[in-house]
Structure 1
Amino acid sequence: MKTLKAMRVESPLGNITLLASPQGLCGAWFAHQRHEPAESEQALWQHNAQHPLLEQAALQLQAYFAGDLDAFDLPLDLSGGTPFQQSVWQALLTVPSGQSQTYGQLAKRLHKPEAVRAVGAAVGRNPVSIIVPCHRILGADGQLTGYAGGLWRKQALLKLEGHPIALPSSDSLFPE
């Protein structure tokens, strides 16, 4: 069994739990995010605020939310997914900040144009939110659809990245 190290960090969109295995960052979940690990799994994690990889991830997230970082540079451990999920998560890493793709476009890039729903399910199960940018995947008509951390967070992340999608105006990017 892998020894997993965890750290909780604050962000403008709520607390994020980071998780590292010996191979790399394997988790980043907003508090109460859909598909976050069960409490029984979380109880096995060792919380370590001084873990070098978790510290680096926290610093990069801070720079990202400040608008100073477009792409993360962290070793990732995506081995917790099936081979298909891993291929989808790897493909997500190629969608640049400020851009997007639809679920259908992503399925075609993976040479599985008939697997749009399966691609969508894999995107939704992405264990490393923000860093593996599943928020950059939109519905067929370019609309915001599905985000395990909540659509308001997806909207805020896209707005932060300067995405050209027409987003509803608001007084503040982040809720108080």
Structure 2
Amino acid sequence: MPGPTPNLSPDYPPLGPVDLTSLRGHLAEQANRRGLLDVAYRTVDSPVGPLLLAATERGLVRVAYEREDFDAVLERLAAKVSPRVLRAPHQLDDAARELDEYFAGRRRSFDLRLDFALSNGFRQSVQRYLPHIDYGRTESYREVAEHVDNPKAVRAVGTACATNPLPIVVPCHRVLRADGTLGDYIGGLDAKSTLLELEQTT
């Protein structure tokens, strides 16, 4: 005959914020060890607002601005990359550190492994080229099209920049219209201006 059901509430108070953080970290570690974690993510603060960072075992796969809706970004990662998405901040420590160094003016290029799983074809070709635009420099959409050997694809270059899944790290903010105006930007024009001003003053 089973014994009485124990009353856990008096002896086991609700977990506090610190305990929950520790528990989440433990769960992420266990999931990773068991091969149950395909996409790790975290959020960081920055001069252009909160950013969501996500990575696979191949590298950083997503940098998202808050205006993109973090929940929607995570849903797309689950649909396009893997449904095994988990908050695992420590797995993105290097990305967070390099972004901090960039915004502090101490880093001019990123040394992170990148996963271009969210792009393909011409868009990926453009996005792979963008890190070759030096810090503090800009190119026009037409110049980028020429560099990727498709000089007539100016509009397609604009689309590749507008859909760049790795802004800042893959510096689509360094691409401007032929007349020098900003053009569109996934993080908004204020963010694009902030990044360009940062690179001009450091």
**Alpha-carbon distance in 2 for matches of 1:25, 1:74:** 7
Out of 146-155 and 29-38, give the one that drifted further: 29-38
Distance change >3 Å, CA 105–CA 81, structure 1 → 2: same
CA offset digits 1:81-132 (Å, max 9, x no partner): 1121111001101001100000000001111111111111011111011000
**Alpha-carbon distance in 2 for matches of 1:130, 1:36:** 20
Distance change >3 Å, CA 29–CA 4, structure 1 → 2: same
Structure 1 stretches of 5 or more lacking a match? 164-176
SS at match of 1:17: strand
1:20 is matched by which residue type in structure 2?
Answer: A
| 1:35 CA drift (Å) | 11
2:165 counterpart residue number:
127
Structure possessing the higher relative contact order (Cα contacts under 8 Å, 6 or more residues apart) = 1
1:174 counterpart residue number:
none
Identity of aligned residues (%): 37
| 1:34 CA drift (Å) | 8.2
1:47 aligns with 2:87: yes
CA offset digits 1:132-171 (Å, max 9, x no partner): 00000000111111101000100000000017xxxxxxxx
The number of aligned residues is 161
**Alpha-carbon distance in 2 for matches of 1:36, 1:70:** 30
- RMSD over aligned Cα atoms: 2.1
1:24 counterpart residue number:
59
1:162 counterpart residue number:
200
SS at match of 1:157: helix
2:114 counterpart residue number:
76
2:90 is matched by which residue type in structure 1?
Answer: Q
Higher Rg:
2
Structure 2 stretches of 5 or more lacking a match? 1-35
State the TM-score, normalizing by the size of structure 2. Answer: 0.74
Matching of residues 1-176 of structure 1 within 5 Å: 3-33=38-68, 37-38=72-73, 40-41=75-76, 44=83, 45-51=85-91, 54-162=92-200
| 1:63 CA drift (Å) | 0.7
Out of 104-113 and 42-51, give the one that drifted further: 42-51
Q: Do 1:17 and 1:31's aligned partners in 2 also have CA atoms closer than 8 Å?
A: yes
Distance change >3 Å, CA 84–CA 37, structure 1 → 2: farther
1:166 counterpart residue number:
none
State the TM-score, normalizing by the size of structure 1. Answer: 0.85
